Amino acid sequence: MKRTLDVGITSVRDAGFSDLGMKKAVEDGVVEGPRMQVSINPITTTGGHGDNWNRSGFDTTMQTYPGMPYAICDGREEVRKTVRQMLRAGADVIKVHATGGVSSPTDHPEFTQFSQEELEVMVEEAQFRKGVKVMAHAQGAEGIKNAIRAGIYSIEHGIYIDDEAIELMLENETFLVPTLLAPVSVLESSKENDRMAPYAVEKSKEVIEAHKESIAKAYQAGVKIAMGTDAGVMPHGTNLRELGLMCDIGMSPMEALVATTKTAAECLGWEDKVGTVEEGKLADIILTDVDPLSEIRALEDSDRIVMVIKDGNIYKDLTER
């Protein structure tokens, strides 16, 4: 959390496995970190992304505890109860796996999880709590479209976006969070150690070019893009590598910065207090010793972020080096 704040990220939407205690620890000043929205435990289907049961019988699915309810469910009523349990545990946003993924052992990114009707139940339950929305890990085209039609407000990853999905995103003003850094980091990690499962490495190789092409196509069509990284797949504190990757698919440095600030704040629903420097908003201000419009990748070095101010308080100051 401290490494994330040190690179100038003052607000995050955690897409899984941070409980309410972590958010409260920051709010109470016990630890330094970004202000948080938490989703608690991502909701998934039996055999879907997030169910890490292996065919050998060995199960590496995250262990649950009172503040981290069990998240695997099937059918409308199980889905309804599981969403309610996440809300009871303190979820600010509901996270669902609408498709398979790279890091799960028994599925594929193009596999569709949950029916549109099940996804609609999640949105309905979340809407009973004013301001709570549903975000979707969605990589395959059909799962992406199911999520948008169900009323889900942001698509994470979007590896296999097709033209119909783009039209739906534009029509519904759906946010796209590309996480271009995720498959890159899986492949890099596989060269350094053996902690990445072989199936995750192979699927990352398979999707990486399609991912770039899909995000480029969505950007060119005018889909709202907010920066996010799938942090945890890549090391925390290396988040700003995403900016250079966004520029690689056609965005300008300024557009990448806007996606990371203004648009990301809108995706959080916090555009009234963060995302731009305006009177009346929280004093979150980042100073760099480089012009990011001419050297966007210089921001990958955390030492180039020389001051981080959050809520008007200085958390990092390298200006007197």
Residues with catalytic function: 95, 230
* Residue 183 neighbours by CB under 8 Å, 6+ apart: 102, 204, 207, 208, 211
Give me the sign of the Cα torsion angle 27, 28, 34, 39.
negative
- Which are the contacts of 64, defined by CB distance < 8 A and separation ≥ 6? 41, 70, 71
The full length of the chain comes to: 321
Distances (CA, A) of 183 to 29, 220, 240, 279, 282: 34, 22, 15, 39, 34
Tokens of 258: 């806007």
DSSP state string for 204-266 = HHHHHHHHHHHHHHHHHHT-EE-----BTTB-TT-TTHHHHHHHHTT--HHHHHHHHTHHHHH
3-state secondary structure of 139: coil
- At 115, phi and psi to the nearest 5? -80, 165
Query: Angle at which helices 241-248 and 253-260 pack, to 10 degrees?
Result: 130
Cα–Cα distance, 95 to 104 (Å, whole number): 16
Half-sphere exposure of 38 (CA within 13 A, CB side): 23
User: What is the separation, in whole angstroms, between the first and last Cα of the chain?
Assistant: 24
Q: Which residues pair with 288 in a beta bridge?
A: 305
Residues 248 and 212 sit within 8 Å (Cβ to Cβ): yes
